[in-house]
Amino acid sequence: CRAGYVNHCYLLNDPADLEFGELGFTHDGAMAEYVVVKEKYTWKIDSLVERYGNEEKAFEAGSLVEPTSVAYHAIFNRAGGFKPGSYIVVWGAGPIGLAAISLAKAAGAGKIISFEISPVRIELAKKVGADYVFNPRELSKSGIEPWEKIMDVTGGEGADMHVEAAGAPQHTLPQMLKSLAVGAKIAWIGRAPKEVPIYLEVLQVRRAQVFGSQGHSGWRTFGNVIRLMAAGRIDMTRIITSKFKLDDVEKAFERAHKRIDGKITIKP
């Protein structure tokens, strides 16, 4: 915490610590009519009201600052970003993956390739900026592996940056290692419950790096994401596919388990 990496602080797991606890994890979250937080942890979204013209739309955009910041933190803070024109691959097109695609588009990626199995999310990935979206399951039916598509789309050069937002390293990591450009970066966001083997020789030969990323705290990430939204560089409200009232929150969770949405929002 003293170094500014509060998203890695062990005190986040202490439910008795109201200063450094984690809202929604160690303390009751924001699925309520009111939630109390310290003033220094809040951000103004007046600029989003100006951008969208009404508070309702601005609050919808505001609710997406957090997942977008997770992607922003991984790509730009942890992995150090990429040069305009770079080839970017995003694994998984859930809210964070879709945010990664949007940010890559805004930052000038040359080509954006995404892999996703949900039909709804495949279409959303295209909507927010992916140039190519492939369903790994459909590819396997034709005997094609994702890495082959990446090498084909990039003219044999490989990806300059992989963003893992699928949380499926047993499937994604082998594909990444076979499609790294020289000097490539891997920004790792997805969480997984088990270990997977990795062949380090590939990282050495390709002069590649892996950057683990957790959360979004610090680095003024929220502020920069809000600026991007207010400027119209990214519009994350496009990924909202279902809306529920607070009284119907159980139905929202039931739907979330089906993984058929881009983003589900809860309104009091």
Enter the tokens of residue 16: 């008795």
What's the confidence (pLDDT) of residue 36? Answer: 84
Tokens 């949007």 locate to 102
Domain that holds residue 110: 73-212
What's the confidence (pLDDT) of residue 1? Answer: 67
Nearest to 115 by CA among 106, 242, 100, 107: 100
Beta strands in 149-189 (DSSP E): 159-164, 180-188
Q: Is 21 contained in some domain?
A: yes
Cα angle 251, 90, 125 (rounded to 5 degrees) comes to 55
- Which helix (H) or strand (E) is 106 found in, with range? helix 95-106
What's the confidence (pLDDT) of residue 24? Answer: 80
Q: Cβ atoms within 10 A of the Cβ of 137, count?
A: 9
Q: Is 239 contained in some domain?
A: no
Among residues 212, 234, 254, the one where a domain terminates is: 212
Say whether both 198 and 95 belong to one domain.
yes
Q: Amino acid letter at 207?
A: R
User: What's 133's DSSP letter?
Assistant: E
Q: Is 55 contained in some domain?
A: no
pTM value is 0.93
Q: Amino acid letter at 77?
A: N
Q: What is the mean pLDDT of each run of 10 residues along the chain (268 residues)?
A: 70 62 78 86 94 96 97 97 99 98 99 98 98 98 98 99 98 98 98 93 97 85 97 98 96 92 93
Total tally of structural domains belonging to the chain: 2
Tell me the CATH number at 91: 3.40.50.720
Q: Is 59 contained in some domain?
A: no
